[in-house]
Chain A
Amino acid sequence: MRQTTKEALAQALETLLLKRSIEKISVKDIAAQCGVNRQTFYYHFHDIYDLIEWTLVREIESYIDLHFEKETDWQEKIRLLFHYFYLHKPVILHAYDSTNRIQYERIMVKRAAETVGEIIELYPQAQRVPEDKREFICMIYARGITALFLEWVEAGMPDERHVKLEDYFVIMDGSMENALEKFLK
């Protein structure tokens, strides 16, 4: 029951974002769109960005379940994610304006750092690197990809080939081992 309310709110937000941009959408609008009241919204979410985060994470996870294979390498995963965002261009452009960039940065950095963290753990050297150093490496990588993504959105999300992902991969490839080695205890 609770899950469906959350889903309904997520759906309502997406519907509204197809029509207009985020600064013209209030909690009241979202609640009305799915036939509940404001308090129901706040029972589940702290604010609109909390809802956006929940929706994004959930949708990306189901997209990943569908498209990522065990053998998909990390470069292909990033390509697929950018493609996913490209497919949702109208909603994302409506959800983003430069005044709320900080909100998206927060969400993206947090999630990206978690993912990088999982990748780091796969390296045998990781066990011999202090925790705070590993966290630092995560943040550097997370901030890099987040900036790349947000700048692409700010440019109006042209064809995803404009992101220069291939150049990014050239720099990143093998760099993580290098970073870990430098922090070995």
Chain B
Amino acid sequence: MDTSNRMVRFGLKKAFEYIERDPEENLPKLMDWVDRFAPKGDEGFPVQRAAFRKVIEDRDCAMHRLMIRIFTQTDKEVLKAVFENFIINGNLVGWPRQEELRERYGCNIPWAILLDPTSACNLHCTGCWAAEYGNRLNLSFDEIDSIIMQGKELGVYIYIYTGGEPLVRKRDLIALCRKHSDCQFLCFTNATLIDEEFAQEMLSVKNFMPAISVEGFEAATDERRGSGTYRRVVEAMSLLKEKHLPFGISCCYTSQNFASISSDEYFDQMVEWGASFVWYFHYMPIGNDAVPELLPTPKQREFMYHKIREARRNKPIFAMDFQNDGEFVQGCIAGGRRYFHINANGDCDPCVFIHYSNANIREMSLLDVLRSPIFMAYHDGQPFNDNHLMPCPMLENPDKLREMVERTGAHSTDLQSPETAEHLCEKCKAYAEHWSPTASQLWECSQREKESYPAGE
């Protein structure tokens, strides 16, 4: 691993020199180099590489335009760090290590770890699930440092902050970026704490990328998040764009806002703001105060399914849908299969949305967390449904979560208002029943398409 790592870094430097000169001409050369280095067989991501090659060679497709935009408008040093940490360490180096350990320990080994540095937030938005955690909990610098050190041992190089508002702890986060310069950090944030000084620090550490929550235009944003918020978020994005710092956007879709945040106008606006990616999250009815009426109807969810796929073809921004894109990752990725969540109290939740656990990182090692009862139940139960449009053991298969929580004796880690799995799953029952026929129909369609174009599209 060491020798190939050194060769990789040397090759990378050369590759970037080529690309800097002329991305259109030289991106294919980088791809040739990646192909040469990639491990043989499935470990080398042959399907993903083929997809990349197509994007690189087809100059008219939206993803090609996005790629050129990223290469020409991102700070070169930052881009290099992202490439090295995310692509090389996070996947090509990390993946074989993860696979080896999955085999050795017979449990899930994640690709990324989500963690809440703090439960505190500087905004007080209506309906925010993070707010339920209350305001006084923090993972200390040493605790996060230890999680990352243990994570790297397991081949995990991607860390995603959520919360709370992680940037309440921005000095610690910069310190962690600087210390772990071989990792890529992503951060869900409201962006209101991104200022000139912080942008400079981001340029200096190079491995910190924000995913900014923006859910619509000015009126909708300010109504829910407080007046003036929209303007502050837009200002932060314009600062990032000016500094050539890459960032993405995250959106939660509900029965109320789904149309506005997936409109062509909104996609164009996100591109204009300078976002490279947008990550959509289906509203989840978690917590005792949840509002099940906000759950999208089957028609609305189907609309998002088509709309986001259409955007991937037409808009130069990479759109992902956490609930509808299960087909690309074989269903549920939680429980450590690809990721899990550590809250600001150290509780290790299988998913950012599923707050039941038997494990706290303050009491056990990362590996033992992954071998704890509820994580093993996920490991043994995945995929929870053969139809990857119904991936979740809560939302689309509520009986599964209820059963796992009961069998493993996992307790609620909700710090504000513990909710029983019974209560939570009951809210999803009707949703699951209604979504099932639509999901089956969409799934059959997509399977048929795959069979007629086996090379992947």
Contact = CB atoms under 8 A, between A and B. Distances in A.
Nearest to B142: A38
Interface stretch (B169-177, B282-290, B398-406): B169-177
Nearest to A43: B175
A159 B141 CA distance: 45
Contacts of A41: 175
Interface in B115-167: 141-142, 145
Nearest to B197: A2
A46 B182 CA distance: 11
A45 B141 contact: no
A46 B178 contact: yes
Contacts, number: 27
Interface of chain B: mostly helix, strand, loop or mixed? helix
B178 A38 contact: no
Interface in A25-61: 37-47
B309 interface: no
Nearest to A45: B178
B179 interface: yes
Interface in B398-423: none
Nearest to A27: B179
Query: What bracket does the count of chain B residues touching chain A fall in?
Result: 10 to 19
A41 B175 CA distance: 8
Nearest to B170: A43
A41 B171 CA distance: 11
B172 A39 contact: yes
Contacts of A37: 141
A127 B350 CA distance: 61
Contacts of A42: 141, 175-176, 178-179
B181 interface: yes
A40 B179 contact: no
A46 B141 contact: no
A105 to B, nearest CB: 15
Contacts of A47: 179
Contacts of B145: 38
A47 B179 CA distance: 7
Contacts of A45: 178
Interface residues of A, number: 11
B152 to A, nearest CB: 15
A102 to B, nearest CB: 12
Given A43-B171, A43-B174, A43-B175, A38 B181 contact: no
Nearest to A41: B175
A47 B142 CA distance: 15
A41 B172 CA distance: 10
Contacts of B178: 42-46
A23 B145 CA distance: 21
A122 to B, nearest CB: 26
Interface in B170-229: 171-172, 174-176, 178-179, 181
B143 to A, nearest CB: 11
A47 B141 CA distance: 15
A44 B181 CA distance: 13
A46 B176 CA distance: 9
A46 to B, nearest CB: 5
A131 B139 CA distance: 49
B206 to A, nearest CB: 11
Nearest to B176: A42
Contact of B171 (A38, A39, A46): A39
B179 to A, nearest CB: 4
Contacts of B172: 39, 43
A20 to B, nearest CB: 23
Contacts of B141: 37-39, 42
B231 to A, nearest CB: 29
B193 to A, nearest CB: 16
Contacts of B179: 42, 46-47
Contacts of A46: 178-179, 181
Nearest to A46: B178
Nearest to B141: A39
Contacts of A43: 171-172, 174-175, 178
A140 to B, nearest CB: 19
B81 to A, nearest CB: 12
Interface string A140-162: 00000000000000000000000
A40 B172 CA distance: 8
Contacts of B176: 39, 42
Given A38-B141, A42-B178, A43-B172, 18 more contacts: A37-B141, A38-B145, A39-B171, A39-B172, A39-B175, A40-B175, A41-B175, A42-B141, A42-B175, A42-B179, A43-B171, A43-B174, A44-B178, A45-B178, A46-B178, A46-B179, A46-B181, A47-B179
Q: Which 3 A-B pairs have the closest CB atoms?
A: A42-B175, A39-B141, A43-B175
15 contacts: A37-B141, A38-B141, A38-B145, A39-B141, A39-B172, A39-B175, A41-B175, A42-B175, A42-B176, A43-B172, A43-B174, A43-B175, A46-B179, A46-B181, A47-B179
